[in-house]
């Protein structure tokens, strides 16, 4: 069996950043990615990103992916990227089972970083399996990776940043976005994104949800309904909207299932998006040398995934005997960046969630 120092599960911004920082310190790694290319969520993002310069703000997501890939390529003597490979098993003797093109193989590592990202939440309503009903991620993959339109007239469900951004991208692709509906009483995402689609003629209807989808073989209409502030449907407010695509964007939850195979302590923290591993400040789980970074330990942004991955990469390299020449300086700077990113009203959820995760609320 192949034995290596450091295995990274997932080639998104968190995983790539970890590999890069570890390599800077001299530690080699193997990045395992189930897709045919690395970059994670970033490869679907055609818009300019938020954040600060250090996390490549104002660069388009797809270009950030290429920058991070470039950093890894510059260390190709130390970083091996294994695409089309899914991690199917993770065992407490630090052995992973992998599936590449229908072939199973095994690899053993001294340290493992799980950076598997997040998966989309779905919604329950009548006929929610009709063709024409998509998750926002699928719409982005179709449209931005393969150049295929999901439909001609779309209703978007969810006004978080993803719902707002994907609506804008649909407009750019020439699709008519009939409306964005949102069950909460306020828009969830950044107002700059909301204003941007509103001035293009897309209304955002707060206090509204989907009641059912209508269509014989494919989606033809949706029935929407008003909800009160406790999200109870208000009878008599139903409306029928014609559309051939419904795009669901109601949030993400950490893709932490693979961690379930290990004796690491998990905790359900709603503010972080779902079931997440209990971690310390260096992103180590309760099991020695098993680390996590990015959306898998709390759904956030690419900016924070990059910083978290870098912190984990530096720390793991140090643990395995490879100290980065500027370890203290880098670590302080990264910790500061993370604090800074989370210091505003949109970061409150994460900060509170992390506190809950670490049990710092139990007085």
Partner 1 sequence: MFEKTGVPSEKLVKSRFPNERYLNSFKAITECYEEIPCNPCETSCPFDAIEVGIDINTPPRVDFDLCTGCGICVYSCPGLAIINVMLEDDDAIFRIPYEFLPIPEVGMKVKGVNRFGEDICDGEILKVKEGKLQDKTIVLTLKIPKEYLYDFVTIRRLT
Question: Site residues (CB under 6 A) for ligand FAD?
Answer: 9-15, 32-35, 40-42, 45, 49-51, 86-87, 115-118, 140, 161-162, 165-166, 255, 258, 294-296, 300-303, 305
Closest CA to 256 of 40, 87, 37: 87
Choosing from 84, 88, 195, 257, the residue that interacts with partner 1 (CB under 8 A) is 195
d(CA 8, CA 100): 16
327, interface contact from partner 1, ligand FAD, none, CB < 5-8 Å by kind = none
Please say which residue, 57 or 67, places its beta carbon nearer to partner 1: 57
Phi, psi of 105 (to 5 degrees): -150, 175
Q: Any contact of residue 52 with partner 1 (CB under 8 A)? A: yes
191, interface contact from partner 1, ligand FAD, none, CB < 5-8 Å by kind = partner 1
Candidates 67-75, 190-198, 210-218, 267-275 — which segment interacts with partner 1 by CB under 8 A? 190-198
d(CA 57, CA 51): 5
Q: Identify the residue whose tokens are 């890894």.
A: 72
Q: Would you say 80 and 29 are in contact if contact means Cβ atoms under 8 Å apart?
A: yes
Choosing from 81, 204, 224, 262, the residue that interacts with partner 1 (CB under 8 A) is 204
Write the DSSP string, 160-215.
SHHHHHHHHHHHHTT-EEEEEE-SSSS--S-HHHHHHHHTTT--EESSEEEEEEE-
Q: What is the DSSP letter of 285?
A: -
Q: Any contact of residue 347 with partner 1 (CB under 8 A)? A: yes
d(CA 224, CA 181): 9
d(CA 167, CA 179): 9
Q: Is 124 exposed, middle or buried (0-12, 13-18, 19+ CB in 10 A)?
A: exposed
Q: Any contact of residue 312 with partner 1 (CB under 8 A)? A: no
Cα–Cα distances in angstroms (integers) from residue 17 to residues 72, 243, 310, in the given order: 8, 41, 5
Residue 28 host element (H or E): none
Angle at 53 between CA 49 and CA 55, to 5 degrees: 60
d(CA 251, CA 157): 10
The pairing of strands 103-114 and 95-100 is antiparallel
How many residues in the shown chain lie near partner 1 by CB under 8 A? 41
Please say which residue, 14 or 224, places its beta carbon nearer to ligand FAD: 14
Please say which residue, 76 or 203, places its beta carbon nearer to partner 1: 203
172, interface contact from ligand FAD, partner 1, none, CB < 5-8 Å by kind = partner 1
Q: Any contact of residue 47 with partner 1 (CB under 8 A)? A: yes
Candidates 3-11, 18-26, 110-118, 185-193 — which segment interacts with partner 1 by CB under 8 A? 185-193
Candidates 3-11, 35-43, 54-62, 78-86 — which segment interacts with partner 1 by CB under 8 A? 54-62
Token reading at 192:
């700059």
Choosing from 190, 214, 223, 349, the residue that interacts with partner 1 (CB under 8 A) is 190
257, interface contact from ligand FAD, partner 1, none, CB < 5-8 Å by kind = none
Q: How far is the CB of 3 from partner 1 (least distance, A)?
A: 41
Q: Any contact of residue 198 with partner 1 (CB under 8 A)? A: yes
336, interface contact from ligand FAD, partner 1, none, CB < 5-8 Å by kind = none
Residue 105 host element (H or E): strand 103-114
76, interface contact from ligand FAD, partner 1, none, CB < 5-8 Å by kind = none
Angle at 17 between CA 11 and CA 19, to 5 degrees: 75
Cα–Cα distances in angstroms (integers) from residue 73 to residues 68, 77, 114, 329, in the given order: 9, 8, 21, 24
Choosing from 8, 19, 27, 194, the residue that interacts with partner 1 (CB under 8 A) is 194
Q: Any contact of residue 341 with partner 1 (CB under 8 A)? A: yes
Q: How far is the CB of 178 from partner 1 (least distance, A)?
A: 13
Choosing from 75, 176, 196, 358, the residue that interacts with partner 1 (CB under 8 A) is 196
Contact positions vs partner 1 (CB under 8 A): 47-53, 57-58, 60, 171-172, 185-187, 190-204, 206, 301, 303, 340-347
């Amino acid at each position: 069996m192949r034995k290596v120092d450091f295995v990274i599960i997932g080639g998104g911004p968190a995983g790539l950043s970890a590999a890069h920082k570890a390599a800077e310190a001299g530690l080699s790694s193997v990045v395992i990615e189930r897709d045919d290319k690395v970059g994670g969520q970033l490869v679907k993002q055609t818009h300019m990103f938020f954040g600060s310069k250090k996390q490549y703000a104002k660069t388009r997501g797809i270009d950030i992916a290429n920058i991070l890939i470039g950093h890894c390529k510059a260390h190709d003597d130390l970083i091996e990227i294994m695409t089309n490979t899914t991690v199917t098993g993770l065992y407490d003797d630090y052995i992973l089972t992998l599936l590449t093109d229908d072939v199973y193989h095994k690899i053993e590592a001294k340290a493992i970083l799980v950076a598997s990202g997040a998966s989309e939440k779905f919604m329950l309503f009548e006929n929610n399996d009709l063709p024409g009903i998509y998750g926002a991620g699928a719409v982005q993959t179709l449209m931005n990776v393969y150049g295929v339109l999901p439909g001609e007239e779309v209703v978007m469900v969810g006004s978080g940043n993803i719902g707002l951004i994907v609506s804008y991208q649909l407009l750019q692709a020439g699709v008519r976005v009939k409306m964005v509906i949102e069950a909460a009483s306020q828009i969830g995402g950044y107002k700059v994104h909301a204003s941007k689609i509103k001035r293009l003629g897309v209304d955002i209807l707060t206090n509204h949800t989907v009641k059912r989808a209508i269509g014989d073989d494919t989606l033809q209409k949706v029935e929407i309904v008003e909800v009160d502030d406790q999200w109870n449907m208000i009878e008599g407010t139903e409306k029928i909207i014609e559309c051939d695509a419904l795009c669901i964007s109601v949030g993400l939850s950490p893709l932490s299932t693979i961690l379930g195979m290990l004796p690491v302590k998990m905790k359900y923290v709603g503010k972080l998006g779902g079931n997440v591993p209990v971690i310390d400040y260096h992103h180590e789980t309760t099991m020695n040398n098993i680390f996590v970074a990015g959306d898998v330990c709390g759904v956030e942004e690419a900016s924070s995934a990059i910083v978290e991955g870098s912190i984990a990469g530096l720390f793991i390299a140090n643990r395995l005997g490879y100290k980065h020449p500027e370890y203290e300086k880098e670590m302080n700077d990264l910790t500061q960046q993370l604090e800074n990113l989370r210091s505003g009203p949109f970061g409150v959820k994460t900060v509170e969630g992390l506190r809950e995760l670490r049990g710092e609320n139990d007085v």
